Structure 1
Amino acid sequence: MIVFLLACAGAGFWYAGHTVSSKETAQTHQVLSQSSVLAKIRELNRLESTAFYIDTIIRTEKQGNWYALWQDSEKGMFVAKGNAVAGIDLDKLDEGAVSVVDGRVIVQLPQAEILSVQLDHLEVYDWRTGAFNLLKADTGVLETVQVQAKAQLVRQACANGILEQARERAAAQVARLFELANVPVSVYPAAGGHCRYPA
């Protein structure tokens, strides 16, 4: 009798364990399609993967007029601090860039680009009019300085390889997104790209 009860209990435990195992398998089963993968990646929107923080010096000069005895000439030196952020705009990812082959997701990323440029601080180092600094300086020059400073930030970031780093890091981040979900993935960053001030 005792042996019969033990056998029944063992059968019950086996059945319960088998049922739980079947449920777990059903819950972890995933169906991959091109559209679902594309939607998942696009949820990231703009993938900002690299930021360069840069200090740069901007010099300005305006020639004076003879009728003001050249006292309206103007020279300035400014120190600008800011950052340029590069990454990938995933809204540009089209259906042809994503495929699913034998359960593996294959992604061809768009080109990396400068996504934003921000001027954090602008310091006046030297700013004077004429030989004796008698006239009031033209404050409108500050707008020109800001534009030039942002353009200089982009040039320096490009020279330091911001797009190359953004390309590599973005590919790693997208791959990590699928690896965390235990989905096999191959991510290929696009070569090239124009390193320029964002439109």
Structure 2
Amino acid sequence: MNRPDNKAPADNARDHKYPAPNPPTKKPIAFMSWLILLIGLAALAFAIYSMPPVSEEAPIETITREGVVTQIQQLNRLQTVAFSVDTVITSERQGSWMKLWQDEQKGLFIARGRVDAGIDLSALTPEMVQVIQPDSATDSEALRKAAQNDTQATTVNTAATMPQINITLPPSEIFSVYLDDIEIYDWQTGAFGLMQVDPKILAQAQTMAKKEVLERACRGDVMNIALQNAQTQLQQLFAMTGAVVTVTTQGAGACQLPS
């Protein structure tokens, strides 16, 4: 009769009591995970910023600030007034989710503009200029009375022989609106400033600056000032000839650029 081998169970028990150690975890695995994550984020950012622009861009919102009249200059011509205006312009466009709102742009500008206004003499018609010749009988009586005083004779003689001129001026109008300078005070492009400056923001700011300059000049009564200056200048001009000149107006025109 064979006896069972008693050593085998002892060996098995010893094997269960002292299991074999696991192989050590490799540290390069964690490093590779971080590296793959960083590469993925970089690829995602590159894909976002290299995407072609969407067909419908976000509208540009432009806000103007109250303009300040810095100069009113009278000109010795029928372009009779020039308004210089300083104004602050804010122009911005909201970002899009496709670019994680990094394409949001906002600009702050300081604009200096000028408005020229006056009278267009090409609008004068023959009916607007009347010349009244002196009456010979009345002039002879005036000369006879003035002959008694030699100091007044020359003056009366000159006034009596000069015609009377009545001029009716056409309405005043705006000739031009200029932007002498526009200064970029601040420009923001997204949270990280990764996007390039959009020239449409500046173009929109220039357009709105011209409108604000014109609006501020209109509130400053530029049309009536231009009309009064033209009336005064014409009277002074014809006064040098010795003629009796009366200058009337048709009133101020619309404060807007000519179409």
Q: TM-score normalised to the size of structure 2?
A: 0.57
| Structure 2 SS opposite 1:48 | coil
**Structure 1 residue 194: Cα displacement:** 0.4
Alpha-carbon distance in structure 2 between the residues aligned to 1:85 and 1:144: 22
TM-fit CA distance, 1:95? 1.3
Partner of 2:114: 83
1:170 deviates by: 0.4
Larger Rg: 2
The structural deviation recorded for 1:145 is: 1.7
Q: Confirm or deny: 8 A CA contact 1:98 1:108 kept in the other structure.
A: yes
Q: Is the 8 A contact 2:92 2:201 kept in 1?
A: no
Amino acid at match of 1:98: V
Q: Are the counterparts in 1 of residues 81 and 229 from structure 2 also a CA contact under 8 Å?
A: yes
Identify which of 172, 181, 190 aligns with 2:232: 172
**Deviation per residue, 1:156-189 (Å, 9 max, x gap):** 0000111111010001111111111111100012
Provide the aligned length of Structure 1 versus Structure 2.
Answer: 154
| Cα distance, 1:140 vs structure 2 | 2.8
Q: What is the RMSD of the two structures over their aligned residues, measured on CA atoms?
A: 1.3
**1:4-62, Cα deviation, whole Å (9 max, x unpaired):** xxxxxxxxxxxxxxxxxxxxxxxxxxxxxxxxxxxxxxxxxx71111111101111111
Distance 2:192 2:240 in 1: 66
Match of 1:72 among 103, 108, 129: 103
Deviation at residue 143 of structure 1 after TM alignment: 2.0
1:58 aligns with one of 78, 89, 101:
89
* Unaligned segments of structure 2, at least 5 residues: 1-76, 134-162
Preserved contact between residue 107 and residue 188 of structure 1 (Cα < 8 Å): yes
Deviation at residue 84 of structure 1 after TM alignment: 0.6
Aligned partner of 1:95 in structure 2 is: 126
Q: Does the 8 Å CA contact 2:93/2:104 hold for their aligned counterparts?
A: yes
Deviates more, 1:178-187 or 1:127-136: 127-136
**Which residue in the other structure is 2:209 paired with?**
149
Identity over aligned pairs, percent: 40
SS of the equivalent of 2:170 reads coil
Asked whether the 8 Å contact 1:167–1:190 carries over to 2, the reply is: no
Does the residue aligned with 2:87 lie in a helix, a strand or coil? strand
Give 1:92's aligned amino acid. A
- What is the CA-CA distance between 1:137 and the residue it aligns to? 1.2
Q: TM-score, normalised by structure 1?
A: 0.74
Q: 1:111 aligns with which of 171, 178, 186?
A: 171
SS at match of 2:95: coil
* C-alpha deviation, 1:118, in angstroms: 1.3
- Tell me, yes or no, if the aligned pair for 1:175 and 1:187 is still in contact at 8 Å: yes
